[in-house]
Structure 1
Amino acid sequence: MKPYSLMLCAALALSACSGDGTNPFMKDEEPAPAPAEPETEPFALPGTSDPQATDPIQRREARAEDSSGTDYGNGFANDFAYDSASDTFQVEGLAFDGDNPPYQYTRGTAVTTLSKPGNSLYAVYEAPTTVPDFLTNSPISQLQHRVIYGVSDTGQTEFAVVRTGSYVGYGFGGFIYQRNNGVVLPTSGQASYGGDYAGLRDFDGRGGLEYVTGDADVAIDFDGFLNNCSGATCADAVRLRISNREIFDVNGNNITATYLSAANSNVPTGFSPLSALETITTRIGPNVMTENGEATGEVFTSRFGDTHLEGNYYLVMSGDHTSGAGGEIVGIVVLEGEDPRGSGITERETGAFIVKRR
């Protein structure tokens, strides 16, 4: 993985930045819910309440507060913010990830980006390794945290994902994604979109953090399930495919072959060894799309005839998908399954994509 430089917002997405050089997308529209009052939303994730097709929409990872659950720590990250003047990032709500704001995360050193040249911008940010004691100035070790921040070339869609590799369980983190405008949806026909995929991989059962990259393809069949359900967009079908996935360690070394070697250590009779990571795909069905351009459904990978990773995707559409450039889409996938590199270890992949019409 070759790092290359880019400047978010300041260079290519001015419409997503405020006059002071900060990115307003990364400020939650509404505060995270108090523990005693869990938030409920019509959509699968918390965020913008009762949005319309003409509205900007923001969604974030739901906060998991049951300390006995494996997902404890999800959604604790809040107040994401980006400063284009210093190319730095702020995340609140996570312990030992640097001093208080503003903007404690700096651009990654070993890995600066997870996107391909010419595509939407996915930049990597790292929390500091030490923070001085506020009285004695003695260095205090910090936990490993990474942020991936993505923004489209129009500035109308964005995402951020933060995870840590310093806990035996998943630890604390979160994600957020947003469109900054409204949407115009077709009522029939099919549409195709493509772009980069990038994410963070963490573990339940051991520490450590990994990067993942790939290609994201989205196809939508508007009114595909016609006469099989009721509702303006209930018949719309979504097919998401994430292919050509590769895994990297935090130093940017490609470790895909090592992972595949472990996965191929016990190939069942009648199956061939894996030559590449499996494609992530959707379970296609009706009732996944809303009239405001959001969709959610199940995703999975297959390995040796069985489901391996499984989870959900969440996306929001942006712009006019009936004419002109044809709009764009931002989304998140979260999957988990058994890690073949150790016993009793679950791997989780939190990936994001920005795709545009093609």
Structure 2
Amino acid sequence: MIHRVVFPLAIALAVSACSGDGTNPFDDDTTTDDTTTDDDGTTIDDRGLPPGTTSPSPNTSITRSEAETETGGGTALNYEYRNDSGQDEFYVDNLPFDADNVYSRGTAVSSLGTAGSYAVYESAPTTTDPSTGTTVSTMTYRAIYGKSTSGQTQFAIVRSASYSDYGFGGFIYKRNATDSNGDAVSLVVPTCSGECTAQYTGDYAGIRVFSGSGGLEYTQGDAEMYIDFEDFNDGQSGVALYVYNRRIYDISGNDVTAAYMTALEAVDDSTTITNTGGGAYMPALRSVISPDNADANGEIVGSILSDVRNSDGTVTELESGNYYAILSGQNAEEVVGVLVVESEDPRIDGVTAQETGGFILYRQ
């Protein structure tokens, strides 16, 4: 697996990290790849869930992290938030040229999400050769960390701006063993007779990286999930996820949504895109509803996409990918998740964008 470096190490890069209780929020001694072996010896994974907890249940902690990909995703390991001495740092291992693996709180962009719910962290721009004392430039990595208000759930995403393909990084999301009060966390799925639909709302934030060009952008917006706990009749729940009001920011925090939307509308001069909110927001992401989206353990997986409606009435798909989530609570009161979508970037020919976003949503 080869990842082309866009910027030479001699170029100085910028710095950043997140808040918590000082303990490692992602430790889980019971997690390994959740895979089985097919008859031909091929390793397959159940329902498309990322690797993680081998024997999940409603009464246990569940951790899932990105599987390693040919483009560099899934290489990040040992995610850890550190604040035992007030340092507000985020640690992640197994990423090349990110100095000492410790990321500090962002400067240009310190938080994301409509309400600023999620913290941004930056790798150090330089490191020191311990033998010679020479200052050496590093590559540019950024991380987003989010933890729910109850402490039941959390997620983290890390990506790099320094590769001409998507580069090294990863994501992780988790239902914790205990909440912020030290109480055990589990899931009680509602039992209903008749109508039993719940609405969840909250913030969304993501990182965009590119294949065919270096660079990194942030996104933020709002997310809603609807769960019908009564249907389907085979015991599965119906799930619908929407991410809307998405805006794009460059690595310095400048809003570049309008430039993206202008380029999107210019892709085909024969039509005018009509469902993009006047260019103020990216098109909304919406999930594909399926009978096997959710299971009794509270784990959710499914496809998600966005599209644009042209002035001639046709619809063009823009982004596509998958989302993953976990329910938590005695009244199924919150859900944590991550999504990954890819699309052609309309601003540069031959460049594709990968957006990895996280969300924590609360039952209304």
TM range (shorter): 0.7 to 0.9
The amino acid across from 2:220 in the alignment is T
- Whether the 8 Å contact between 1:27 and 1:80 is mirrored in structure 2 is no
- Whether the 8 Å contact between 2:204 and 2:360 is mirrored in structure 1 is yes
Deviation at 1:306, TM superposition (A): 1.2
Distance in 2 (CA, whole Å) between partners of 1:348 and 1:152 is 25
Question: Pick from 137, 142, 145: which aligns with 1:146?
Answer: 142
Alignment of 1:77-156 (within 5 A): 77-84=76-83, 85-99=86-100, 104-117=102-115, 121-156=117-152
Q: Does residue 314 in structure 1 map to residue 324 in structure 2?
A: yes
In structure 1, list runs of 5 or more residues that go unmatched. Answer: 1-5, 11-20, 65-70
Question: Pick from 225, 230, 253: which aligns with 1:218?
Answer: 225
Alignment of 1:36-51 (within 5 A): 41-43=45-47, 44-51=49-56
Corresponding residue of 2:155: 159
Deviation at 1:187, TM superposition (A): 3.2
Deviation at 1:288, TM superposition (A): 1.1
- Whether the 8 Å contact between 1:129 and 1:144 is mirrored in structure 2 is yes
Distance in 1 (CA, whole Å) between partners of 2:33 and 2:130 is 28
% identical aligned pairs: 41
- Whether the 8 Å contact between 2:111 and 2:119 is mirrored in structure 1 is yes
Distance in 2 (CA, whole Å) between partners of 1:265 and 1:177 is 37
- Whether the 8 Å contact between 1:32 and 1:78 is mirrored in structure 2 is no
Corresponding residue of 2:261: 260
Distance in 2 (CA, whole Å) between partners of 1:205 and 1:63 is 20
Alignment of 1:238-257 (within 5 A): 238-257=239-258
CA shift digits 1:164-206 (9 cap, x unpaired): 0100000110000001121011234100000000010000110
For the aligned residue pairs, the C-alpha RMSD in angstroms reads 2.1
- Whether the 8 Å contact between 1:28 and 1:78 is mirrored in structure 2 is no
Alignment of 1:1-358 (within 5 A): 8-10=19-21, 21-25=22-26, 29-30=30-31, 41-43=45-47, 44-64=49-69, 71-84=70-83, 85-99=86-100, 104-117=102-115, 121-180=117-176, 181-188=185-192, 189-226=196-233, 230=234, 232-233=235-236, 236-267=237-268, 269=270, 271-272=272-273, 274=276, 275=278, 276-303=281-308, 304=310, 305-321=315-331, 327-358=333-364
Distance in 1 (CA, whole Å) between partners of 2:356 and 2:63 is 17
Single out whichever of 108-117 and 251-260 deviates more from structure 2: 108-117
TM-score w.r.t. length of structure 1: 0.84
Q: Are the structure 2 counterparts of residues 270 and 168 from structure 1 closer, same or farther at C-alpha, using a change threshold of 3 Å? A: closer
TM-score w.r.t. length of structure 2: 0.83
- Whether the 8 Å contact between 1:41 and 1:49 is mirrored in structure 2 is no
- Whether the 8 Å contact between 1:329 and 1:356 is mirrored in structure 2 is yes
Aligned residues: 319
In structure 2, list runs of 5 or more residues that go unmatched. Answer: 1-16, 35-40, 177-184
